[in-house]
Every structure is written in C-alpha cells, then in structure tokens.
Structure 1
Amino acid sequence: MNAKEIRELFPILKEQVNGHPLVYLDSAASSQKPIQVIDVLNTYYKTQNANVHRGVHTLGNKATDEFEGAREKIRAFINARETAEIIYTRGTTTALNLVASSYARANLKPGDEIVTTVVEHHSNFIPWQQAAKATGATFKFIPLTEDGTVTIEAVKATVTDKTKIVAIHHISNVLGDTTPIKEIAQIVHQHGGILVVDGAQSAPHQKVDVQDLDCDFYAFSGHKMCGPTGIGVLYGKRELLENMEPIEFGGEMIDFVYLEDSTWKELPYKFEGGTPIIAGAVGLGAAIDFLEQIGLETIERHEKQLVKYALEQMQAIGGVSIYGPTVDRSSLITFNVENVHPHDLATVLDSYGIAVRAGHHCAQPLMRHLQVTASARASFYLYNTEEDVDALVAGLKKAKEYFSNVFS
C-alpha cells in the first residue's frame, strides 16, 4: 500500500481548508486518524461501553477484555517482557512526570546528578528540573555538536558515578535527529544509573524494541501514532516499577484500605487510579494494528525519502535556514525563512490549506541554544506525499515573495 492509497483511509485529508485541499504537515504535534481507528472507537461506544475490572456483567467483561487486549498489543509493539510493565497514562507528559515524581524524588539526594540535554521537549525537561530542585540533585547537560546532535563521546564525558538518572529524547521534536539510545544505556548502566527515554517522536515512526535498547523507562503518546488523544504509555522495567510508589490514589489501584493505612494492587494497576481512559486504550490498540499492517520499517523508509526530497527542495529556495542534521534525518524539518517571522509564515501557508507548526515547539532552552525566538516546522507521516512537499515549497516561495514586496 503506497502513501496515496493510505491517504484514502484518513477522512480528514479529504477536507478543504480556506478553499484549498488540506496539506497536513503537523503530525509531530498530533497525527490524523484512519477510518479503522475511528470505527473501533465508534463500535466501542455503541456496543462495549462499560467500566473495567469492576463489574461481573457481560458488558463490563467485554470492555475489560478490549482494554487488556490493547495492553498486550502495546507490549508486543515495543517488545516489553510482560504486560505488567505497560502503564496506561494520559500521554508522554504524564508518563515522564510519573517517573520524576515517584522514582526520582524517592531516590535522589544532594550530590546526585540528573543528566539531560537542552534539546528536550519541556515534558522531558521541567519534571527533572523540578525533581533536582526538590531533592538537591545537580541538573547537568550533555554538550551538543554544532548541528545539535548528541554523541557517545559527549555522553561518556558527562555521565559519572554520581549520575543517577539520564533523561533523553529518542528523536528530537525539533531537530529530527535519532539519539543512540542502546549505546547510551550501556554507559548509564556502567555508572549505576537509569535511562529514561522520551519516545513520543520515535514510537510512531520506527520499530522500537525496549529490551534491545535496554532503557529503564520509555514513554510515548497515542495521538502521535494514529490513535486517540488522551492516552499514552509508560514502559518500565518490573524491578523498578515494583519499588515505586503510586502518585495518584483512589479507586482501582488499591488492594485493601484500612483506617490507618492502605495497600496497593500489583503491577500495572497500582499506577492506574480511577476510571482509566478505556476508549483511548482500545483506540490505541487499533492504531497499533493499523501501523503494523503497513509496517514500521515501511513507514520509516517512506518518511526518510520524503524528508530527503523536502530538504533538497527547500534548500534550493534560498534564504531558508534549517536546524539539525541534513542527513539521516527523521520525519520532520524545522526551519526559518529569512526576514519572515514563523507565525506570519504559518499564517500565509494556512491561507493555502497548508498546516505547519510555528513557535518554540515546547523547547525554549533549545531555541535559545539556536539563538532564535521561534521557528516553523513541517512534519511528515505515512500519509504524506511528494505532492505535499511541492505544495509546501510553492507556499514558501509565495510567502517569501509576499514579504519581500511588503518590506521592500
């Protein structure tokens, strides 16, 4: 199935925006949903809607089967050892905050180190910044190459025996580079630390094997991988999760409640207090079925070809600054057009039906490192085509011409 055939499975891509066919280039923020996922959500609410793990009636059992069946799909998707290591969350942000609030604050003390980079999304930056402030730990940063990538040499020079946590992106939501997670995990473990990986931009675009990577925690979101909003996943090694305390208390996550104290359920349920995001989980399971039917290797290959084509076309325009590596790049391109503010650029593109992201991309420390206040970002997915790139390039040329005339 090629990209044009895949497009037909996404109803929203048939929409017109401002009188033009929609060219959706903001999948790094949130992907669109195929009809298979939409239909599964519709079926769930029509025929299976009930709370899980609580009732003994038929509908409740059916909902529970769907909910736990999705957990098994997620386990297989990232090759976790067991479903007990798969925690449902509201998204990557909640998953990373869970580790920072439960594991980090209980295990860090003054003199310990948390290591990260200035490239990180705020969701993988602020939780560790705040955990360091709360515990007295040192907040350290791995130095970057000129194009903003992380090298093994820089990791070796930064991580020490005092380093207890390294938190890092798998793929940057701004620079599009892929971090060598497996090699970093070896270095971190040699020093007795743990590795936390923000997988929000990698799980939708390439095959992930958490056992092969040997990371200790891995977080990702459903809405960036053809699934519903409001559902995400935290993978954690059992031995670490078992020694962590829940940070939300209430129904479902308890074993016994006494007047003076309470005990918690076994994994993964002790971290899933309250009524979970049932439909979201079922929808994420359907999204995984869809992605695996296409093939993650096929998706990754298509996106890299598309990005290579886009880079060539954009660089030929002139006056376009591109941030991050220009070879072996993942599914997005972050850029600025000379003398055009990215918000103005995005507004002009939107007038032609082209959706791109503009702003600091929840990465203000990186923007300062790049010495820009904001940038534009075009992000691609399995449903994008070279025609989408051509529309973007034509839009950039029109925007550049318009603003050169306005300010000439």
Structure 2
Amino acid sequence: MPKLLFDGTAMQSDQRATFHGGGEYAKFILRAAISCGYVFDVALNPNLFLDPETMAVIDNSGKKIVNVRTKAELYSVLDSGIYDIFYSALPYKYYDYSSKARFIGVIHGLRSLEIVWDKYKHKYYASSLKRIVGWCIARSSIIKNELRRRQWKKLAQLINVHNSMFITVSNHTKYAILNFFPEIQARRIHVFYSPFDTMQKDNDNKEGTTCAVTPFFLLVSGNRFEKNTYRAIKAFDKLLDNNLLSGFEVVVTGAENLPFADEIKHKDRFKLLPYVTTERLRELYSNAFCFVYPSLNEGFGYPPILAMSVNTPVIASSATSIPEVCGNAALYFSPENMDDLCNRILHIVDDEEKRTELIALGKERVRFLQKKQSSDISKYIGLIFDTH
C-alpha cells in the first residue's frame, strides 16, 4: 500500500481564525481514515494551535507526527522519497508543488473567481478609507478583471500541478473548475459532498408550527460580505417599513459591531449578536421561525442543512451550489434581488401549509444527505489511500 503524508496543518489555526471550515473538514477525514485502519503519517506545524481533542485522536492512534514549520520544510520531507502520496484538505498554498509524491487536494470552491467583488462589499468595512476604495473597485471593471486574472493565475498553477488529483465538495465546484480551467481532465476531479454533523439532539422534538415566543428570522455570519447580509437586512427593513412583519424579529449572528448597523431603520426589531457558541447556535437554529441564507457564493453550504436538521424551514439563495445541496427543500430567491427575497419572506409568513411542507422536505433532505455521506465516506477514504 502506498505511504501517505496527511496535511495536518490544514487542521491548525490560521491567520484568520483558530477554527475554520476547511480545518473541521480535515479533522473529519482524519478521524474517518483512522477509523478505517489506514496507516499514514501526519504533518503538523509545532508553532500553530491544534485543538486538544484532535491532538488526542492522533496520539491515541499512534500516528507518527512529522514537524514542518514552513512550506519549504514540508517540501523537503516530500522530496526525500519517503512518501508516495500527499493529501491536503486545504491545498491552495501548494500552487508551487513539485514533489514526485502524488498530490491529492480538496477544492472547496472557486469563490475568488466566481465572485471577485460585490457592489455592497464596501459596506462591511469599518474604515472610511477602505469603504471609499471598495466603492471604487465595485464600479471599475478594469480593477475587477485584474483581480480575477491574478486569482486565476494562482489557481491555474495549483490545478495544473503534475501528478495531481482533486476532490470537490459539490458538482457545482467540479464544473466550475472545468469551466475556468478547460485543460484539466474531468477524470482527475472526484465529487464527494462535504461531511456534516446535524444540529439535532436526541431529545429535540420540535413540531412544524412551533416557534419561539417572539418569532424570529435567523441569519448567520453577518460580517462576511459573501453571505450577503446587507441586502437581506435591507429587505427586512423594507417589509417592516410597510408593516408586513408584525410581531417578528430578525436575529443575525457574527454581526457584533456591524459597520452598516447605523443604516438599519428598525433597530428595535433586529438583534445583532457576536459569533456564538455551538450550543447557543443550535438553540437559535431550533427556535427560529425561518432560516434565511442569502449567500452570494458557496462551494457546498452547511447552514441550510443544519437548519433543516432541527425542523426549521429555509429560504435560500439560488446561487452556485446551494440548490444542489438543498434540493427541493428550500424556497429560493435571486441573491442580488431584494424584492425577490421580500416575496419569499412574505410567502413563508402567510402560507402555513408551505412552511409545514418545507419542514417535511427538509427532514427528508437531511436523511438523504446523511445516507449519501455514510455510503460515500469509505469510497472517499479508499480513493485517497489506495491511489497508486
């Protein structure tokens, strides 16, 4: 069997966050590979944080840890000829990879090409100067094209790494790669949906029409422009202006010190929360009247599935991978059209039968994805470790 080096640095803290989606993905694959009994080594940077739980999993499995403080040190290890395969769940920094070891990387999405900028991105900046610059970039096709060209060049280097194979988390991402990089052969790209854990607890028994005392709509990751919170808040404000959401509130997580908070007209009807604990987030998902996901771009998109897992109906953007993941279990809208979102919000408020239907379809969709995940994981792990 080929000898594999697992990129454990993908699980470690980066400059932006201690925990991040790509890292959690890598941890899931690590645990699955150990569970399947595969033998491999793990590359870790001793200068970066790794949560104690994952470190304990590695230690208890007896896996050898290879310390690499820099990319150059990693490349030196791979060039030694010890390993036949190098697997990374976050491969973007390895665009200059040249080792003889087979390179297997996970492409989670092509957001940097698909959504270079957005007309409202400047709203998310606290700095006045950055706001002005962002406003100018949004209105300059020359600058946006140059930004896209730079991103394309770096991704092209990665995609065309010799002796490589890639895994994507959705069909959308696979065909985006083939669209932007037609030179790559489709057989080098394999699709396996992102693994996920639901928000459901054994004692959860939320019925279709049950909601909190003050019913609320839930949005998450409010401070990230690609999540499109600005347009969503504007849509809710418009409905509140017209007295069409009597008795409802809007809760937004990841929105503490939101730069555009002063633009909200009905501040008493909005709760702007910081990033919250997993337990608190589960409570919000469970108690929400409806979950709204206006994202401009996703490689997969966990949040709508998490909402569905606790019987909360979903209104979602029709962009990129979201319809592929959510299937027929969401009400869709065009993410750049605020009126389209207003229509869906009014629909979910007025039509109790539709809301109940979406809850049932959401349960079914979660079961489908869980079943697919269970059947695919052994194929995924086998593809990585049994590749010659």
TM-score for both structures, normalised by structure 1:
0.29
Higher RCO, 1 vs 2 (CA within 8 Å, ≥6 residues apart)? 1
